[in-house]
Amino acid sequence: MKKIEWLTDGTTKMPDIDTARLERWIAAVAASHNRIVGPLTYIFCDDPKIIEVNRQFLNHDYFTDIITFDYCRGKMISGDMFISLDTVRSNSVMVNATYERELLRVIIHGVLHLCGINDKGPGEREIMESFENKALKLLDEI
């Protein structure tokens, strides 16, 4: 069984990513948090799909770059992650990053959530950003 699946919603074009390299990276980041990689699914979509998922499953009425569904068991991370490439693109402009770098940040953001790192409470956003930056530096070494 393949541990990481890379899919689209059927209407969105698959981003140009090196999945083998990203899978090694994801495993390394998980290991750095004392976790192992179980089944993960990335579903790349557009803004209409992400807001549909957000409304249907979370009762949120706003766009977001990623929605992570957590199926972790013990130290094994597992989950489905919907990523809106539209929002990734608009966020990359807002934060003055390349689209490719912002997409990598979002890809690992979901993994960090599955490792138990949150970003909604006081001070948590800064902690998440610190872990994202460490993970991105690790990717530069892979």
The model's pTM is 0.94
What's the pLDDT tens digit per position in 44-66?
999 999 999 999 988 888 889 99
DSSP state of 116: T
What's the pLDDT tens digit per position in 125-134?
899 999 999 9
DSSP state of 74: T
pLDDT in tens, the chain (142 residues): 569 999 999 999 999 999 999 999 999 999 999 999 999 999 999 999 999 999 998 888 888 999 999 999 999 999 999 999 999 999 999 999 999 999 999 999 999 999 999 888 778 889 999 999 999 999 988 8
The neighbouring-strand residues paired with 82 are: 43, 67
